[in-house]
Structure 1
C-alpha cells in the first residue's frame, strides 16, 4: 500500500511555468515602451508604474514631434489623475463656503432693513401722536409696531443661529485648507504640497540613487520695479504660472512657493538637464509679451537651480535654489544660475 502511494507520488510532476514568447513590437508606441523599459533596467531602477511614467516622459523629449503628438493625444484620452480630482473637490468646497458667506451677508442686510423699518414706524407713530384727531391710526400703528418688533426678534434670533453655523463651517473649511494641495490664485500646487513632494523625492533618491533637481522661478524684480501697477504684476505672475504648466512634464511638480515665487520639482533630472530646462523656460517666457494699456512689455524671469540630495533637508534645498536666483540677479548677462551647497 505504502509502495503504491510512493509510486503515485513519483508520477505527479511538479508544475512548471511555460516560457512566454513576446512578439516583436510593431507600432511606434510599442517600440518606444520597450525602449523605456530597457532604459529603466540599464539604470538599475525597478520598472514600477511610477518609474516607468517618469522615464516615459523624460525620454519622450528627445523623440520626433510627430511621435510626441501621437503619444500625447493617447495620454489625453486615458488621463485620470487623483490630484486633479482632489483639486476640483477643494475648489468646490471653497465655492460652497463662499455661497454660505453670501447667504449670511444677505441675512445680515435683511436684519438691518427690519431694524430700519422699526425706527421708521416709531417715527411715524410719534408724528401721529402729535395729531390728536387721528387716534385710530395711532392704534393701527401701535399694533403694526408690535408685529414688526416680534418679527424683528425672531429674525435676530435666526441671524444669530446662522452666525453660529457660519463660524462652525469656517472652522471646518479652515481645517480643510490646512490639508489642501492647490493654490487657487495661480492655478498650481501650493507650498505645503511642494515641500511634501521634495521630501518624498529625497526618500526615493536615497533608495534608488537617481538624480533629481529643483528650480525656483520668479518674475524679474527689475521688471516688477519698472511697473507701478499691482494688478498688472499679478496678471504677469499668473501668466508665468500658466507657462510653467504648459512646458512641464507630467512627472514634474509645479507649485507656488509664496510671494509670486514658483518651484518645479524635476524628477530624474540632473543639473545639466535642469539647466537646459531653465534655458527653455527663459526663452519661452521672453517670447511672451504682455500688454499694459498701450505699452507692450516683454516678460522676463529669473531662475535658481539646485540638486535634490539626501544630504540636506527640504528647507536647505529650497534655500539653495533661492540662492541661485540671487546669483542670477548678480550677473545681468544671465537669467538663471546653479547653486550647489559646499
Structure 2
C-alpha cells in the first residue's frame, strides 16, 4: 500500500498508543478517541468519511498485533453489513441485463428481415410462373403460401411496432443509467463524471477547512501506446494500469478513468511531499511492468503528472491544466509536480 501522505502523521500518535498496547490488550476505544483528537487538532470535521480516512491512516503506524485485531473486527462487521460496493455491483448487473435485452431485440429484427426476404423470393418465383399454364396447381400452392406469408407479415408488422416502442424505452432507460453512472465497468474504476465531481468537492473542502488534498494523472506515453497496434492488447494494457492503481491506493483514494487510457487519482489529506512520493512510487511500479510488443518484451513507458488541489482553481481548470502538461512533458522521464 502506498503511504502517500503525512497529514495526519501516522507516527504522531504511535508512541502513545504503542505504550498503551504494551500494558493492555488491544483497546479499540482508546484508539478511537485518539482518532477523534487528531481530527480536532487538525481542524477537520468529524464526519463518518473523515473519521474513516484518519482511522485508516493512523492505523498504519500501529504494531502488527493491533492492526491484526482491528482487521479481524472489520471483517466480522463487514460480514453483517451492506457492502460499500453493492451499488456498483447492481449497476454492472443492470448494464449487462440491458446489453442482453438489446441483443435479443436485434435478433428479433433480423428474423423479421429474413421473413421479408423470404416473401420477396416467393413473389419472384410467382412472377416467373405466371405465363406457364402447365403448372397451374403449383401456382395455386405458391399463391396460397404467399397469402399466408402476407398474413404473417401483417402480424409481424404489429409485433415490430411493439418491439420498436420497447426498444426505444430500453434505450432511454439505458441512457438515463449512463448519465447517473459513476463507474467505468471496462476498467473497474470510477468514471470521468465522478472524478470531476470528486475534485470539485475537494476544492470546496480546501476552501472551507484548509486541509490538504492532491490529484494526479497517469497514462502510457504516446510513443509507447502507438506501438501497441492491437486494440485488444492496448485495452489490456490500460486494464493493467487501472488494476495496479487500485491495488496500491488507499480506500480513501479515488481512482478513475478520465478517458482514452488516462487514469486519475484523488488523494485526500495529502500534502505536497506525500503527493510527490506517491507520483514517484506509482511511476516506478508501473514502469517495471513487462509488456510484449510484436514478440519483444518491453517495459511500460509511463507519464505521471500531479498537483495539489487548491482553492484558486476549479476542478475543470485543474484537470484541463494537468492534461495539457501531459502533452507538453512527453519526453520527461520523471514524474511532474505542478506548482500553483
Q: TM-score range by the shorter chain?
A: 0.7 to 0.9
Residue 298 of structure 1 deviates from its aligned partner by: 1.1
Q: Give the whole-Å Cα distance in 1 for the aligned partners of 2:230 and 2:241.
A: 17
Unaligned runs of 5+ in 1: 1-23
**Residue 204 in structure 1 maps to residue 205 in structure 2:** yes
Q: Give the whole-Å Cα distance in 2 for the aligned partners of 1:266 and 1:30.
A: 27
Residue 246 of structure 1 deviates from its aligned partner by: 0.8
Q: TM-score, normalised by structure 2?
A: 0.82
Q: Which residue of 2 aligns with 1:8?
A: none
Q: Which residue of 1 aligns with 2:56?
A: 57
Residue 74 of structure 1 deviates from its aligned partner by: 4.8
Unaligned runs of 5+ in 2: 1-22
Cα 1:31–1:65 change in 2 (3 A) is same
Q: Give the whole-Å Cα distance in 2 for the aligned partners of 1:118 and 1:289.
A: 58
**Bigger relative contact order, structure 1 or 2 (CA pairs below 8 A, ≥6 apart):** 2
Root-mean-square deviation (CA), in Å? Answer: 2.8
Residue 153 of structure 1 deviates from its aligned partner by: 1.6
Q: Give the whole-Å Cα distance in 1 for the aligned partners of 2:72 and 2:301.
A: 31
Contact residue 203 and residue 310 of structure 1 kept, 8 A: yes
Q: Give the whole-Å Cα distance in 2 for the aligned partners of 1:323 and 1:139.
A: 74
Cα 1:62–1:321 change in 2 (3 A) is farther
Q: Which residue of 2 aligns with 1:339?
A: 338
Contact residue 26 and residue 69 of structure 2 kept, 8 A: no
For 1:35-74, list aligned pairs within 5 A. 35-63=34-62, 71-72=70-71, 74=73
Matched residues, number:
317
Q: Give the whole-Å Cα distance in 1 for the aligned partners of 2:226 and 2:140.
A: 70
Contact residue 323 and residue 339 of structure 1 kept, 8 A: no
Residue 225 of structure 1 deviates from its aligned partner by: 3.3
For 1:244-259, list aligned pairs within 5 A. 244-259=245-260
Q: Give the whole-Å Cα distance in 2 for the aligned partners of 1:58 and 1:234.
A: 33
Q: Give the whole-Å Cα distance in 2 for the aligned partners of 1:243 and 1:70.
A: 27
Contact residue 237 and residue 260 of structure 1 kept, 8 A: yes
For 1:1-342, list aligned pairs within 5 A. 26-27=25-26, 32-63=31-62, 71-72=70-71, 74-76=73-75, 78-79=77-78, 84-126=85-127, 129-292=130-293, 294-326=295-327, 328-332=329-333, 334=334, 336-341=335-340
Residue 206 of structure 1 deviates from its aligned partner by: 2.5
Q: Give the whole-Å Cα distance in 2 for the aligned partners of 1:317 and 1:82.
A: 32
Q: Give the whole-Å Cα distance in 1 for the aligned partners of 2:337 and 2:55.
A: 26
Q: TM-score, normalised by structure 1?
A: 0.82
Q: Give the whole-Å Cα distance in 2 for the aligned partners of 1:109 and 1:233.
A: 33
